[in-house]
Structure 1
Amino acid sequence: MTTVSTEGLDQLHDPERAVLPILLSVDTARRLAREAVAECAAADPHSLGAMLMAATTLDYRLRSLLAALDAEEGR
């Protein structure tokens, strides 16, 4: 089994440097999240680039959806 060193790599999300996403409506955020899930489901699991793109896309869409839900609840 081959191991990959993660030394020198940045974590996917750094709250210290995070830029808040544009606040979307819940309906829009939900639609975009569903589209992202559908797109990422077709990503090649053997491609590092495709997996990184899928991870960042899903991370962004999930954070956008949570921000929209929090805004709707008044958090």
Structure 2
Amino acid sequence: MSVDTSALSQPLYDPAVDGTYVPPLDIVLACAREELARYATANIHDHHEVLVAAVSTHDRLRQLVAALDKEAGR
């Protein structure tokens, strides 16, 4: 017996829902450094802690790329 889990799935990023505001590069870069420091000691054996770190870092990386693109005029 299989269970339909498609309704439980949710993407990390949805352009239709997520905002389009891009903070200045210097702010995003400072936040990215804080993010790296915050999760540098995450326990890789703690599933929840690793999941939180991964999602948070994914969001920060997306912001960093958007800020770099904006500064480069892309």
TM-score (norm 2): 0.75
**1:71 maps onto 2:64 in alignment:** no
Deviation of 1:37 after TM superposition, in Å, equals: 0.7
Amino acid at match of 2:42: A
- Count of aligned pairs between the two proteins: 69
> Where does structure 1 lack aligned partners over 5 or more consecutive residues?
1-6
The CA deviation string for residues 18-74 of structure 1, in whole angstroms up to 9 with x for no partner, is 624631111001010111011111111111110010001110000000000100111
Which aligned pairs between 1:24-43 and structure 2 lie closer than 5 A? 24-43=23-42
Equivalent pairs: percent with the same residue? Answer: 35
The structure whose Rg is larger is: 2
Q: Secondary structure at the match of 2:43?
A: coil
Q: CA RMSD in A?
A: 2.2
The runs of 4+ residues in structure 1 deviating greater than 2 Å are 7-18
Q: Aligned in 2, Cα 1:38/1:18: closer, same or farther, shift over 3 Å?
A: farther
